[in-house]
Amino acid sequence: MYQRDREAFLVAVAAEGVPLEVARKVLREATTLQRLAVAQCNGDWPCDNGSRTVQPCAQCERGYVPSVLRQGGICPDCRAERRVTALLAPFGITPIVQGDPRGCVLKLKLPSGRTDDGNREGFCVPTR
């Protein structure tokens, strides 16, 4: 299932002018965002579980273990979102990040308007 979704994603973004190297980096960042969304939902490390010492992210104010807050107190989730935005900005593609790990955490609003989700918001970036 993942392989088929991955290939469909690569074809869709290639049609938008995104090089394969950039598309692979977006896939990697989507997996990071998915993993962090699951950690936030379950209270796994490095997120807040109610018993470990955490500090709020300077940008999103979610609780994270202090050792993962870098670059002015920014959490790994916000840093990954920034990387995706920077990767896709030259191609006119806007990322849509959702925190619910049960669905598609990262969608792309493509210039062509092509979508593959039920809400017609964007094109889902597959994760394992």
| Whole-number pLDDT of residue 16 | 96
Hey, where are the domains in the chain? 2-41+75-124
One-letter amino acid identity for 67? S
Distance CA 77, CA 40 (A): 10
pLDDT in tens, the chain (128 residues): 899 999 999 999 999 999 999 999 999 999 999 999 999 999 999 998 888 899 999 999 999 999 999 878 999 999 999 999 999 999 999 999 998 888 899 999 999 999 998 888 899 999 98
Its pTM stands at 0.91
Q: Which of 92, 85, 96 is nearest to 122 (CA)?
A: 96
Whether omega for the bond prior to residue 56 falls within 30 degrees of 0, making it cis, is no
Query: φ, ψ for residue 92 (rounded to 5)?
Result: 70, 25
* Alpha carbon distance 27, 21 (integer Å): 10
- At 117 the pLDDT is 84
